[in-house]
Chains A and B, each alone.
Chain A
Amino acid sequence: MSGGVDSSVAAALLADEGHDVIGISMQLHNVGAASPHDDFASVSHDIVATGSDDASGRRMPSFGGCCSLEDLHDARRVAAALNIPYYMMNFERQFNDQVVSNFVREYASGRTPLPCAHCNSDLKFATLVERARAFGADSLATGHYARVERDWNAGRFLLKRAADATKDQSYFLFSLNQDQLSHALFPVGDRSKAAVRDYARQRRLPVADKPDSQELCFIPDNDYASFVTSRAPDVARAGLIVDEHDRRLGTHDGVHRFTIGQRKGLGLSSSATPGRPLYVLKINPAERQVVVGPKASLERTTLTASHVNWIVDEPACPIRAEVQIRYRHRAAPATVRSVGRSVEVVFDTPQIAVTPGQAVVFYDGDTVLGGGWID
């Protein structure tokens, strides 16, 4: 329970159906609490380690967002309204190891990460589900807009798009395996957002009219670049911005500031780029080089992806599918060929901004066939 309306209604729906529901919030960062031994670093005895020395010696910065203290209080209030037991569980270390470190590493290597997908498959439906099972829980429900169906003939679970196409989050869940899907419940997945809000109001949940969160929960101010440099200062090294013909157009303060298809914030003077707008085409982290060019040069008809997770049986022959390369991308028809744990995708028509680090997810209508990470 994040304290938002979706997970609150997910809990309410299950409780109202008569299930035995336990509310859990994942505390993903230190909620501004310093250890009682902080500030005593200057004392004369070799007494105590200060509180921040986890195994790595790192200190998580304080951030707010979806998991701020305020939101955890909201989750607690919802649980109280539903009269279900509620616990906050600390996943600070695991979140850092499984999600944040990867996020920083990906940006540092010129890629554009998708932390929510990692959080779902590597934390929520991994560590959290394990804990929940220890408490006797059969399933883990979240507020995601997606659906899980059991295909009795094939003897497997299928992941499907949400009933509300505008809210569908199946893209972020492609990496769940069969075991994870078998324990997953998405109670709001067959409802519209409006219906979810209506249910919350009708149920008088204190978060019924709370706005949706838009940011990554661990970067509430949306300033990814500062977050990345705070965790990996070495990334903030200047480099060149060049065009497709290797002509120097300007400089930049670090490759982590760029993503494929980005147009704003290139910092190029108009004299360097007369006429048409320029887009980031490619990032070469080794040379700290950012390649820019016209929109037409962003088009690609092929991509490869690795660490592929097939939710249906891995196809022996190339298959036709609708393929989505970003959260807000309209899935486009393509041919997908499986090669070991990788795939090659050939689109029927060119697609804009194929971005390394993002997920590519293959659909057959509403059904997620599988997906992988774009190379």
Chain B
Amino acid sequence: MRVYFDYNATTPVAPDVVEAMTHVTLDLFGNPSSVHHFGQEAKRVLDDARAAVARLIGGEPSEVVFTSGGTESDNFAIRGVAEALEPTGRRHLITTAIEHEAVLNTFRALVRRGWRTTLLPVDQTGIVAPDRLREALEPTAGKPDDTVLVSVMHANNEIGTVQPVAELAAIAHERHAVFHTDAVQSVGKIPVDVRALGVDLLSLSAHKFNGPKGAGALWIKRGTRMHPILTGGKHERNRRAGTENVPAIAGLGVAASLAAGKLATEAVRVKQLRDRLEERVLSAVAGTAINGVREPRVPNTTNISFDRVEAESLLIALDLEGVAVSTGSACSSGTLEPSHVLKAMGLPSHRAQNSLRFSLGSLSTEADVDRVIEVLPRLVDKLRALTPKTVGAHGGVPSARFPA
């Protein structure tokens, strides 16, 4: 029996999605920019998908631009705004210390090109305090409203905490900054409504909610000043050049419809499983603690630290028992740096290295949770018995649970 508890890395593609993609690939191969029948058929696929995505997030179809996924959407949002507003002479960008690398490394690239950047801190709750944003927006060197863009993720990929995006967006707007949220880990898991959030830009990715890899979208509120970052033909209303990945976008559309249809029931079901897992791990394994605040959190994610256990070893031991989890964000180079998210929360680096992320989803069952509880305590005991004293010892830091 294999258990997959790594839904925040990616999710299994829903059969309806596969069917739609197969149909489009085989039967509707036209280029959506073509004038003729074949092109019109393909164009209709895009229109349907655009409407489905818009429905899922409460926007207008015309505000949805298809991209290759979350990373491109984040790049597009940040670079697109920075480039469009560069001539205004404003040179400040704000994000948080717990963003995904797609945001952090894009900010870093802009730092090298002369932009000033502020990374908002978080405390051990893993939530950004609105006052920190207010401070960061204060005029610097006599320049009021120097900030062009604030980018704050909706749900964190590693610990699942949900940021007070609506409040933060309102604060940013008071100072005339554009507000972007990376909602890759919240769309499809909790209700996301762009109007209620009051954001200007929102990134989403199909493969995080049972869609295919290589498809995503950036929602751009009408009127937002943006430059394209991929230049070329007049695709996507001149916002994103390149012939659209029609089959994958069809898959995104179906995944969005499926997610919208089952969001309420699925969130409850998955939350029960996650809570059960959490409760049983905490009671069955000594020296465990949840990282970050328990609410508000996406219902599928928990990040647990295991005192005196190197997470890397536990991950491998679990995998050899058929249980797939993660130490944080999946990283292409496979390096296992202590998580920047947990470090930013102020956890000492040994504790950051003692932490595993369990993320559940559409195909998770109670049997999966039971299986994890069956193997986990034994593996932790084994690793603790073998772990040298120097590894992961909680040097003076109490292993008490954080306040919820």
Residues of A within 8 A of B (CB): 22, 27, 30-33, 35-40, 42-49, 51, 54-55, 69, 72, 85, 87-90, 127, 130-131, 133-136
In the complex, residue of chain A having the shortest beta-carbon distance to the beta carbon of B379: A134
- Chain B residues with CB under 8 Å of A51's CB are 337, 340, 343
- Chain A residues with CB under 8 Å of B310's CB are 131
Given contacts A27-B335, A44-B140, A47-B121, contact A134 B383 (CB under 8 A): yes
Interface contact B320-A22, CB-CB below 8 Å: yes
Interface contact A37-B320, CB-CB below 8 Å: no
Main secondary structure of the interface of B (DSSP, over half): helix
B321 to chain A, nearest CB (A): 9
Interface contact B101-A45, CB-CB below 8 Å: no
B125 to chain A, nearest CB (A): 15
Interface contact A40-B388, CB-CB below 8 Å: no
Interface contact A127-B388, CB-CB below 8 Å: yes
Interface contact A134-B382, CB-CB below 8 Å: yes
Given contacts A40-B111, A54-B349, A88-B334, contact A48 B121 (CB under 8 A): yes
How far apart are the CA atoms of A130 and B391 in the complex, in Å? Answer: 12
- Chain A residues with CB under 8 Å of B344's CB are 37, 47-48
B48 within 8 A of A: no
B118 within 8 A of A: yes
A282 to chain B, nearest CB (A): 37
- Chain B residues with CB under 8 Å of A30's CB are 335, 337
Question: What 1/0 flags go to B106-134 for Cβ under 8 Å of A?
Answer: 01100110001111110000000000100
Interface residues of B in 358-399 (CB under 8 A from A): 379, 382-383, 386-388
Residues of B within 8 A of A (CB): 97, 99, 101, 104-105, 107-108, 111-112, 116-121, 132, 135-136, 140, 310, 312-313, 316-317, 319-320, 331, 333-337, 340, 343-344, 349, 379, 382-383, 386-388
- Chain B residues with CB under 8 Å of A127's CB are 388
Pick 8 A–B contacts, CB within 8 A, sort by A.
Answer: A31-B335, A35-B337, A46-B121, A47-B121, A54-B349, A69-B333, A87-B316, A134-B379
Interface contact B316-A135, CB-CB below 8 Å: yes
How far apart are the CA atoms of A73 and B334 in the complex, in Å? Answer: 10
Main secondary structure of the interface of A (DSSP, over half): loop
- Chain B residues with CB under 8 Å of A69's CB are 333
Interface contact B316-A39, CB-CB below 8 Å: no
How far apart are the CA atoms of A65 and B104 in the complex, in Å? Answer: 30
The list of the 5 closest CB pairs from A to B, nearest first, reads A47-B121, A36-B104, A90-B336, A48-B97, A39-B108
Interface contact A31-B111, CB-CB below 8 Å: no
- Chain A residues with CB under 8 Å of B379's CB are 134
Of the listed residues A36, A39, A134, A135, the one surrounded by the most CB atoms of chain B closer than 10 A to its CB is A36
How far apart are the CA atoms of A133 and B343 in the complex, in Å? Answer: 30
Given contacts A36-B101, A134-B382, contact A90 B335 (CB under 8 A): yes
How far apart are the CA atoms of A35 and B107 in the complex, in Å? Answer: 13
Interface contact B313-A131, CB-CB below 8 Å: yes
Q: A33-B333, A36-B105, A87-B316 are known contacts; what are 13 more A-B pairs with Cβ within 8 Å?
A: A22-B320, A35-B337, A36-B104, A38-B108, A45-B119, A45-B135, A51-B337, A51-B340, A51-B343, A88-B334, A89-B312, A127-B388, A135-B317
- Chain B residues with CB under 8 Å of A22's CB are 320
In the complex, residue of chain A having the shortest beta-carbon distance to the beta carbon of B122: A47
In the complex, residue of chain B having the shortest beta-carbon distance to the beta carbon of A38: B108
- Chain A residues with CB under 8 Å of B117's CB are 40, 43
Given contacts A44-B140, A134-B313, contact A37 B104 (CB under 8 A): yes
- Chain B residues with CB under 8 Å of A48's CB are 97, 119, 121, 340, 343-344
Of the listed residues B121, B333, B387, the one surrounded by the most CB atoms of chain A closer than 10 A to its CB is B333
Of the residues A35, A46, A54, A72, contact of B340 by C-beta under 8 Å: A35
Interface contact A44-B120, CB-CB below 8 Å: no
Interface contact B119-A33, CB-CB below 8 Å: no
How far apart are the CA atoms of A39 and B109 in the complex, in Å? Answer: 9
Of the residues B112, B132, B333, contact of A45 by C-beta under 8 Å: B132
Interface contact A45-B317, CB-CB below 8 Å: no
A254 to chain B, nearest CB (A): 32
A192 to chain B, nearest CB (A): 33
- Chain A residues with CB under 8 Å of B112's CB are 39
